[in-house]
Amino acid sequence: MTEWVFVLSVVVVGSALQNTIGFGFGLLCAPLFMHVMPELVPVPLIFASLLITSVIAAKDFKHVNQYQLKYSVTGGVIGVALAGTILASVTVGTYKLIFGILILVGVCLSVLGYSPKIRGRESFVAGSLAGFMGSLTSAGGAPMGILYQGANQKEVSANLNCFFVAINSAAIFALHVNELITIQHLTLFMQIVPAMIIGLLLSHYFASYLNSLPMRPLILFIASISALILVL
């Protein structure tokens, strides 16, 4: 019961962050759940990510740059295919090591703040990395976040969430092909949906408060500590 209270609380916060600042759901939830309730990672969280990104993408769709999106999605599908092959063949211990390393890579990329131009090639590379990382960890937002860090908030939210609708859909297909989705995964996903809805609703009331707090460094710190524990 204690674990579920913690999990649902984190889902509420992560959902509110995703809808308010454009990221945070996967990067906050995935490394914490790997310690508390690892059966939630990655499959149920990928379903959850698909749901929340679909809601936000529909809201901000008019701000999507469809020309750039096709490059990032193409790269993302390739990353997803590679990740699906790895998931089907590694042991639990090896997966945890890969998971921890990829989370640390995502954090490092976010901290470095490299600011590339938003062009076709850069979109393809960022999409490939995000698709690979997202399929293995359900937290692949860092590469795409770096690509769009200089864009306005609406453009960031629209392009990132539309990208992850496509990539999460591809990831679910790849997991299904590799027979990695079970009834238990779907049950776990359904159990966290109410918390996601609460988080989305609360985000409208706490938007100004969340934007005023240094949420990005806090999320990166939590992700880093969780990943280091897995790796070490």
Tokens matching residue 218: 């806090």
For 207, residues 6+ apart whose C-beta sits below 8 A from its C-beta are 20
Percent of the chain residues topping a pLDDT of 70: 95
Q: Report whether pLDDT(186) > 80.
A: yes
Minimal CA–CA distance to 135: which of 194, 182, 175? 175
- What is the reported pTM? 0.88
Tokens matching residue 58: 């529909």
pLDDT of residue 210: 66
Residue 1 or 62, more confident: 62
187-215: per-residue pLDDT in tens?
Answer: 999 999 999 999 999 988 877 776 666 66
Q: Count the Cβ atoms, other than its own, within 10 Å of residue 119.
A: 12
Residue with tokens 């939590």: 222
pLDDT of residue 114: 65
Helical residues (DSSP H) of the chain, grouped into ranges: 2-21, 25-36, 43-60, 66-87, 92-112, 120-137, 141-147, 153-177, 183-212, 215-231
Residue with tokens 């779907």: 186
pLDDT of residue 54: 96
Minimal CA–CA distance to 120: which of 79, 71, 59? 71
Mean pLDDT in residue range 103-118: 79
* Dist. CA 118–CA 226, nearest whole Å: 31
Residue 4 confidence class, pLDDT cut points 50, 70, 90? very high
Give, as one character, the DSSP assignment of residue 89: T
pLDDT of residue 212: 63
Cβ–Cβ < 8 Å for 31, 227? yes
For 183, residues 6+ apart whose C-beta sits below 8 A from its C-beta are none
Mean pLDDT in residue range 217-230: 77
76-94: per-residue pLDDT in tens?
Answer: 999 999 998 888 888 888 8
CA–centroid distance for 45 within its chain: 8
pLDDT of residue 149: 73
Tokens matching residue 41: 């990672």
User: What is the domain count for the chain?
Assistant: 1
Residue 183 or 158, more confident: 183
Mean pLDDT in residue range 106-111: 82
Q: Count the Cβ atoms, other than its own, within 10 Å of residue 191.
A: 15
Domain that holds residue 172: 2-231
Minimal CA–CA distance to 24: which of 132, 142, 178? 142
Cβ–Cβ < 8 Å for 134, 26? yes
pLDDT of residue 48: 97
Q: Report whether pLDDT(113) > 80.
A: no
pLDDT of residue 21: 74
Q: Report whether pLDDT(53) > 90.
A: yes
Q: Report whether pLDDT(227) > 80.
A: yes
Residue 230 or 73, more confident: 73
149-184 exposure pattern, b = at least 16 Cβ within 10 A, e = fewer? eebeeebbbbbbbbbbbbbbbbbbebbeeeeebeee
pLDDT of residue 83: 92
Mean pLDDT in residue range 159-174: 93
